[in-house]
Amino acid sequence: MEELKPYSKKDLLVGCITKYSKSDIEPWVESIQRSGYTGGKMMLVYDVSQDVINYLKLNHFDVYQSQLNQHIILQRFLDLNHLLKDIDCDRIIWTDVKDVIFQTNPSHWLNKNKNKPIIACSECITFKDDEWAVTNAGTSFPMEWEWLQNKTSHCAGTIAGDKEYIRDLFINIYRWSLTSSNPDQLSDQAAYNVLINQTQYKDIVQFTPQEDGFATQLGTVLIKKDHFGDKLLEPTPIVDDLIRNQKGEPFVIVHQYDRNPQLKQSIHNMYKDKIYTEPSKDNALGFSYENWLSIRSKGKYDTQYNDLLKDKRVIIVGPSPSLVGSGKGKEIDDYDIVIRINKGFPIEEGMESDLGSRTDIHYHCLHTHPACGGKIFYEEMKDKNVLVSCPYPKYVGPFHGDVTSFESENKKWNLPFHCADTDYYIGVAKMLGTRPNAGTMTIMDLLCYDLKELHITGFTWFRDGWRKTYKDHCELFGEEEGKRKREKELSGEFGGNHLQKPQEDLVREIYLNDDRVFIDDIMKQILEVK
CATH label of the domain that carries residue 371: 3.90.1480
Whether 493 has a pLDDT exceeding 60, the answer reads no
Q: Same domain for 118 and 247?
A: yes
Q: In whole angstroms, what is the distance from residue 494 CA to residue 492 CA?
A: 6
**Is 289 among the domain residues?**
no
Residue type, 389: S
Instruction: Please report, for residues 280, 284, 437, 439, 499, the alpha-carbon distance to residue 295 in angstroms, rounded to integers and kept in the order given.
Output: 17, 14, 18, 19, 20
CB 107 within 8 A of CB 253: no
Instruction: Give the start-end residues of each E strand in 20-87.
Output: 40-45, 62-65
**Is 182 among the domain residues?**
yes
| 432 pLDDT tier (thresholds 50, 70, 90) | confident
Radius of gyration of the chain (CA): 26
Q: Same domain for 141 and 230?
A: yes
- Mean pLDDT, all residues of the chain: 90
Mean pLDDT of 414-440: 92
| 491 pLDDT tier (thresholds 50, 70, 90) | low
**Is 2 among the domain residues?**
no
Q: Same domain for 165 and 308?
A: no
Whether 159 has a pLDDT exceeding 80, the answer reads yes
**Is 295 among the domain residues?**
no
| 468 pLDDT tier (thresholds 50, 70, 90) | confident
Give the pLDDT of residue 492.
55
Question: Where is the domain boundary, 270, 286, 312?
Answer: 270
Give the pLDDT of residue 461.
82
Which residue stretches of 310-449 are H helix?
A: 329-333, 352-355, 378-383, 397-410, 422-432, 438-446
Which residue stretches of 438-496 are H helix?
A: 438-446, 473-477, 479-488
Q: Same domain for 331 and 263?
A: no
Q: Same domain for 410 and 511?
A: yes
Digit-coded pLDDT (tens) for 46-105: 999 998 998 898 788 999 999 999 999 999 999 999 999 989 999 999 999 999 999 999
Mean pLDDT of 500-516: 92
Q: Same domain for 328 and 376?
A: yes
CB 340 within 8 A of CB 480: no
Digit-coded pLDDT (tens) for 266-285: 888 887 766 777 776 655 56
Q: In whole angstroms, what is the distance from residue 28 CA to residue 96 CA?
A: 9
**Is 464 among the domain residues?**
yes
Sign of the C-alpha dihedral computed for residues 41, 47, 52 and 58 taken in this order: positive
Question: Where is the domain boundary, 255, 270, 285?
Answer: 270
Q: Same domain for 373 and 497?
A: yes
**Is 507 among the domain residues?**
yes
Q: Same domain for 241 and 332?
A: no
Q: In whole angstroms, what is the distance from residue 97 CA to residue 61 CA?
A: 14
| CA triple 475-523-453, angle to 5 deg | 110
Mean pLDDT of 307-319: 96
Q: Same domain for 394 and 462?
A: yes
Give the pLDDT of residue 3.
46
Give the pLDDT of residue 6.
43
Residues of the chain with pLDDT > 90, as a percent, come to 70
**Is 431 among the domain residues?**
no
Domain range for 235 is 11-270
Give the pLDDT of residue 408.
83
Q: Same domain for 194 and 254?
A: yes
Q: Same domain for 262 and 333?
A: no
Choose among 305, 326, 309: nearest CA to 450: 309
Which CATH number does the domain housing residue 148 bear?
3.90.550.10
CB 102 within 8 A of CB 242: no
Give the pLDDT of residue 2.
46
Choose among 479, 478, 477, 463: nearest CA to 321: 463
| 315 pLDDT tier (thresholds 50, 70, 90) | very high
Provide the domain count of the chain. Answer: 2
Digit-coded pLDDT (tens) for 330-387: 999 999 999 999 999 999 989 999 999 999 999 999 998 887 899 999 999 999 999 9
Q: In whole angstroms, what is the distance from residue 507 CA to residue 526 CA?
A: 11
Give the pLDDT of residue 9.
59
Q: Same domain for 396 and 447?
A: yes
**Is 83 among the domain residues?**
yes
Q: Look at 20-24, 435-439, 483-487 and tell me which has the smallest mean pLDDT.
A: 483-487
Q: Which residues on adjacent β-strands are paired with residue 360?
A: none
| 298 pLDDT tier (thresholds 50, 70, 90) | confident
Residue type, 92: I
Q: Look at 219-228, 307-316, 455-464 and tell me which has the smallest mean pLDDT.
A: 455-464
